[in-house]
Structure 1
Amino acid sequence: MTLRSGTRQALILETLAAMLAQPHAARITTAALADKMGVSEAALYRHFSGKAAIYMALLDSIEAQLFEDLGHIAAAEDQGARRLGRQVHALLLFAERHPGRTRMLTGDALVTEDWQLQVRLGALIDAIQAELAASAQAAHPDLALAADPQLAGGLLMHWVSGRWLRYAQTSWQALPTARHAEELALMGLRLP
Structure 2
Amino acid sequence: MMTEDKEEITPVGKRQYKRGKERRQDILTAVVMLLSNPKPERFTTKEIAALCGVSEACLYRHFSSKAEVLMSLIGFCETSVMTMFSELDAVEGLTYTQRATAKVRALLEFAEKNPGLTRLMTGEALVFEEDRVQQYMTHVISKAETSVRQTLKLAVVNREIAADTNVARCAEVYVSFVTGRWLRFSQSGFTKRPTEGWSFAEALLSLTEL
Whether the TM-score (by the shorter chain) exceeds 0.5 is: yes
CA apart distance, 1:48 = 0.8
The letter for the 2-side match of 1:33 is I
Q: Is the 8 A contact 1:143 1:188 kept in 2?
A: no
Matching residue of 2:169: 151
Q: Give the TM-score normalised by the residue count of structure 2.
A: 0.84
Using the TM superposition, give the Cα deviation of residue 187 of structure 1 relative to its aligned residue in structure 2, in angstroms. 2.8
Match of 2:69? 54
Equivalent residue, structure 2, for 1:35: 50
**CA shift digits 1:63-106 (9 cap, x unpaired):** 11111111111122452012112111110000000000000000
Q: Residues 89-108 of structure 1: matches in 2 within 5 Å?
A: 89-108=105-124
Which of 57, 65, 86 is 2:102 aligned to?
Answer: 86
Q: Does 2:178 align with 1:160?
A: yes
Q: Among the aligned pairs, what percent are the same residue?
A: 33
Alpha-carbon RMSD across the aligned residues, in angstroms, is 2.0
In structure 2, the gaps of 5 or more residues are 1-14
1:127-183 per-residue CA deviation (whole Å, 9 max, x = no partner) reads 110011111122233246992221111110101000000000000011000012212
Contact 1:167 1:175 in 2 (8 A): yes
Structure 1: runs of 5+ lacking an equivalent:
none
Check conservation: 1:84, 1:136, Cα contact below 8 A. Answer: yes
Task: Sort the Cα spacing of 1:184 and 1:145 in 2 relative to 1 into closer, same or farther, 3 A.
Answer: farther
C-alpha contact (below 8 Å) 1:145/1:187 kept by paired residues = no
Q: Distance in 1 between matches of 2:148 and 2:133?
A: 23
Q: 1:144 to 1:103 in 2, by over 3 A?
A: farther
Aligned residue for 1:187, secondary structure, equals: helix
Larger radius of gyration: 2
Residue among 63, 67, 87 paired with 2:78: 63
Residue 145 and residue 103 in structure 1: after superposition, are their counterparts in 2 closer, same or farther (change >3 A)? farther
Q: Is the 8 A contact 1:103 1:109 kept in 2?
A: yes
The aligned counterpart of 1:127 is: 143
Alignment size in residue pairs: 190
Do residues 9 (structure 1) and 31 (structure 2) align?
no
CA–CA distance in 1 between the matches of 2:161 and 2:206?
7
Is 1:138 matched with 2:154?
yes
Contact 2:45 2:56 in 1 (8 A): yes
Q: TM-score, normalised on structure 1?
A: 0.92
Q: CA deviation at 1:4?
A: 2.2
* C-alpha distance in structure 1 between counterparts of 2:26 and 2:162, whole Å: 45
